[in-house]
Structure 1
Amino acid sequence: MIFSRIFTPSHQSPKPEKRIQAIESLSPVKAQEKTILHELAFNDEDSNVSLAALEKLNSFVLWLKMSQIAKQTRVKKTAEKKVNEALVGEGDLSLSSQEKFSFLTETASADLVVQMLPQMLSKDPALLSDDSLAKALIEKVDKPSFTQYVFLEGASAGLQTQLINAQDKISELQKLAKKVSDSELLAQIDTRVAAIKDAQRRPVELKKQLTLVLSKYQALLDKSDVQFIDEKQREFDSELTGLFAQLDLLTQDERAEYDEKRTRISEQVERYLQRIRPAWEEKQQAAQLANTKALCEQQLTYANEQVSWLYNNRLCEATLADVATVNESVRGVEATLEQLSRMESENSNEKRIAEIKREVDGLNDQLERFSMQQQYGQKLLIKLQTLEDIAAKIVDASQNDVNEDSASEGLAAESNNVASLNGAFIEARNDYQVLSRELATIPKALMKRFNAATKRVNANERAKKSKESEQVKHVRKQISVIDNLIGQGKFRVAIAKFAKLDESYHALPSNAKKQVEKRFVKTAEEVSHLEGWQDYLAAPRKPALVEEAKALASTQADNIKARSEAIKYLRKQWLSLTPSSTSNGSDDGEDAALQQQFDEALEKAFEPCREHYAKLDEQRAQAREKRMSIIATVKAIDINTPESELVKVFDKAAKQWHSAGQVEREIYEPLKQEWKAVSSPIQSKIQQWQSGNQAQKRALVAQAQQLATEDDVHSAADKSQGLQAQWKQIGHAGKREESKLWAEFKAANDAVFERLKAERKVQSNAFNAQVDELLSKVDNIDIKSDSAAFDEIVSEINEQLRDLPKPQRSKVERKLEALEAKRVSLAKSAQSQARVQKAQALSSLLLLNVGEGGTAREGDEETLLETVGRRWSSLLRQSDGNASCQHDRQWLTVALEVATDMPSPAADASIRSSVQLQMMTAKLEQGQAATAPDILADWLSFDVLCEKDKHLAQRVVAVIDAYPEVVA
């Protein structure tokens, strides 16, 4: 003992300096000295000694342990620094990959892993290439942010794929997608998001489909058509079988619920069918009987029409096939009549059946007599043809009548021929009428032809008589005019008109001449007496003509053509006057003087005309030069110019040629021949080109006309637009053909588009009617109905919307969206109101428990507890003073005020600061702080409320009144 006190080892010296010196002499290799170093490192009270021992041992494990258990701040910080340096590969400690793996997965805390991993990766980027390490760290930390960090900073491609496929939150995948630039990873993320959405959507869609089909299935109970119900039942059973194969997407309770609904509805429909089937079948039998009656009547009407058609339209040319077809229609009536007789009961309408049988017997009798009637009809047709031939000859003979005097013998022969033809026509007509009496019914076509031939002959006779009457009337009028002229002393005019009268008289038929013969002979004798007075009339007329010529010369020539015509007329009248019958010298001299005066006056009158014609000659010369220039221009045209350009240039030159003005005929003809010579090659090329264009456009017209008969009008319209595009690519087809072809092409296209327009209008009307029906359904939806009924109706409407075009569909969708928005608004309003009621109820309970119930009575407590709900009522009832919360009710009150941003009393300022600090720390360490509902729950469950908690309860009530959502 004494020696031990005298010779105390230096590492046990009370002086830290001595212990540090002793540490320098100790070796960690020796077991005993290593133990001493351990003792000094972990148990020595001096931080310098502990650090010196740890430095001597220089073990990562010991540094790590000291960083965890050290009580001295300096030692702890130094140990943490050593550990961190070792992990990142700095300092004098080095760790193997296995040691790092073990440390990170077994020893290091989650926070340390989060803290150190970025530093380790900066020194060793391949650290996370080990999938087992990365997975272990992700599992250990178990935070989305860390998982995302590993994914982005070093995870292998395989691990990235695993992490993407393991993620089931779309928000996390979307965050990840924003930070990823690799297209393959983005595609994987998109695929996973789509898979999650699909997995979320499929149960909802399945439930919607099941609800819709079951609703339709149950709706069969409102139908009365058994056949329709049977068909729909099979259809719905098939649909439900397919849908029930996907029931594994639903929960067990949902599967059981839908299975029960299916069984129940199926049984209801079966019972309903058993109940209504007998009455329905009886009704069907009655309907079948009515249909058979209607069919029999319809077939009888058709058979009558067929027999009538055979007699009226096909009597002469009917074939065995025609007769067989008509006979088949009668056989159809008999078959239906037999079926009707079997279906009719004893008390049925036998009278009508007997009437139909008699009508059918009558039809059969007509068919039996048809062969004989056809023979009579063919004979009648021969008679009719003979009658028509005679009528045609009568008309032709009347049109070829010879009305000239030189052919009087021919006239007599022709008249005899017409008379004989009229007799033959009457005989043929009588034969036709006698034979027609043998026919039960004369075909309308034969009757029409007979009437037409008769009308032609009658009309010809009337026309002949009318023509003779007009001729006689005309001759009488001429005779009256001549007689009046003679009576007025206008002898020369009367003599001139008699020549025309003579022609008209001799053109009359012989029997018509007799009607005016006496008057004509009398007038002819009077005119012959007047011809001897012609010379006498000429003498006073010539001086008058001279005066007219002088008067014409003295007037201004406003109209050259009229002046020229007047001069010609005066000259013609002068020449028509013969010299008087006297032949003495004085009269000859007088005629010569009159002739000279007449000639001078006409010459003076013609001077303006001569000037006008001189100007016309000048214009003709200019027109000649212009035409020669146009010919030269056409000669210079390159014949190899493209036809589309060539036709424009030539058309311009041709228009200039036609508008070039008049030239003399003897000059125009050579110019015309030269124009034809130079333009002919160009015209030939243009015509050949236009002929090709015509052929192409005719083909397009034929195609367009064919489109008008196509059943698919939409396809026809598309093809029509294609044809129009082709039309534009083809050149001009010539002035005449172009407009004609375009009119035909346009008419054919218009027909297609009119059909398309009509079809679209019909379709649009149908869509609009469907939209109106759907809008009416939307208007009738009860916005306050339960969710199942509301969703069912909306699903049904959406199902019907799929077949509508987008514009019509949008109208209904907007109304549905507005309805759903209104429903959501009502739901939110109801939720908000319920939340306020719950908050008010909780406030009343709190005040009631602390002795301040206000208007609330203690008997209302159960009602208030029921209003606040199970959670809050249970918290109030469980407030037994055994709360596990580490804070008292005052602290929780302040915390509730902090969470809701409500003010606290000044006396609780220190508590409020503490609360805010703890909340901030929790948010930083755990990622979230306590919520107001959680704090309120702790407050209620802390202890039984009593009167001493009144002031705290009032503060809590103030929070609840300000923020009712706290009690949500």
Structure 2
Amino acid sequence: MTTDPWGRVDDDGTVYVRTGEGERVVGSWQAGAPEEALAFFRRKYDALVTEVDLLEKRLRTTDLSASQALSSVEKLRTAVREANAVGDLDALSRRLDVLTEQAEKRRVEQKQAQEQARSEAREVKERIVAEAERVAAETTHWKSGGERMRQLIDEWKAAPRTDRPTEQALWKRMSAARNSFSKRRKAYFAGLDQQREQVRQDKERLVAEAESLTDSTDWGATAARYRDLMQQWKGSGRADRTSEDKLWSRFKAAQDRFFQARNAAFAERDAELRGNAEAKERLLEDARTELSEITGPRAARARLRDFQEAWEEAGPLPRDQRDRLEGAFRKLEDEVRRAEDREWQRTNPEARARAEATADRLRGAISQLEDDLDGAKRRGDDREIREAEEALAARRSWLEEAQRALDEMS
């Protein structure tokens, strides 16, 4: 009988392996020496050792999943338990026990990592969904809102997946937000189309009225009405682009036709009024000369009335000269009125008394401010000095004006 530490070959060629549970038959050998039998079955044991070594290395150096590792361990455990080999099978079993513990530890770690990844994925997708819901509920910038909604869908697709129930619930919200946005956008543009149609109808009426006024010769009232129509046009909003352009062309053409006719009529009338302008030019020169030579306000007023009557009798003026000549004549009227006012102020005792009282109050205020300024300078208070100087300058200016008024009354 031939033996080694882990097995033996019986005289009849039966090969045994020794384990902690005792001996068991692993085969028989009839073809050669017993030593060859043990060598053969030891090679089978070495093959199992190699498989265990490889599994240990994979578990140590790769990202082999825990489930794959456990499956491989169980296969090897069965192979070791049933192995027709001679060697320290108990040591291999113990090594497989260690591998089982390591795989179980990896399973816990992988489960934790998976839960962490799912949690992070859930947070990402909850953020995406929340923004989609905000866009769906709040945005009225439909172009940018639609683009953002498409970006959020792409972000959803690119984001990692979380657990199935959460994934389904979040996608349901995402889909509802997208549908809500689409419905709101569709409703908005439907309402906008309706609004533009109403604007088109309103502007059709404005254009019809503008076209009905083109031949009017009631220049003032019609021009005012065109201004009203223009204000209504500006305040009515915009129709669709095609209708807007066509209606504006008609409106502007009607308006231009009227004002061109009015301008032609005014030009013709202005030509007829050139003689009135020449007459009023002479009246204006005469009035300037004579009124400048009259010293008494009453006499100037009496003579001005004569010029006013002659001015009215001279008739209307052409538009291009009306403002200049009428303005110049009103200036003469204002000068006569101011002369009368000054004379009245000069001879009015109550006005003189008020002017003197005002001057006295200003002198008292100036005196007090001068004292305040001296005090501020002694204290070195820059702010009080500046305020006192500003107040003094203002009141001295007022006093000069009050004194001039008194002098004119003298």
Of structures 1 and 2, the one with the larger relative CO (CA 8 A, separation 6+) is 2
Q: Which has the larger radius of gyration?
A: 1
Q: Same fold (TM over 0.5)?
A: no
Structure with a larger share of its residues in strand: 2
Instruction: Provide TM-score, normalisation by structure 2.
Output: 0.38
